[in-house]
């Protein structure tokens, strides 16, 4: 089954299901870091809290992980069947 031309609806669903599982942990970890960083920034600016800079770092790490997971997912979707 070629990723660019799957035969039939069942094959297409199977391909999409497999593609959703690619780098899932990487993307979810990145989202957790990003949400934690964003929450820290939202609650820290008003209180002038000490955790402002760690929140920026967490947000940046989360963004990098989410983008890396997305890139890995796209690259795996364009890979030829004999390379998988």
If you average pLDDT over residues 62-73, what whole number do you get? 93
Neighbours of 47 (CB within 10 A): 9
Give the per-residue pLDDT at 50.
Answer: 87
Q: Residues 35-41: what's their mean pLDDT?
A: 94
* Alpha-helix runs per DSSP H in the chain: 8-20, 24-47, 52-77
Banded model confidence at residue 46, pLDDT cuts 50, 70, 90: confident
- pLDDT tens digits, residue range 7-32? 678 887 888 788 888 888 999 999 99
Residues 33 and 61: beta-carbon distance below 8 Å: yes
pLDDT the model gives residue 1: 47
CA dihedral 17, 20, 25, 30 (to 10 degrees): -160
């Amino acid at each position: 089954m070629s990723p660019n031309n799957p035969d039939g609806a069942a094959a297409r669903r199977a391909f999409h299901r497999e593609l959703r599982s690619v780098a899932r942990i990487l993307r979810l970890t990145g989202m957790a870091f990003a949400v934690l960083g964003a929450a820290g920034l939202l609650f820290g600016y008003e209180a002038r809290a000490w955790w402002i800079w760690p929140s920026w770092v967490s947000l940046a790490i989360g963004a990098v992980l989410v983008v890396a997971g997305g890139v890995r997912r796209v690259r795996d979707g364009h890979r030829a069947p004999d390379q998988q």
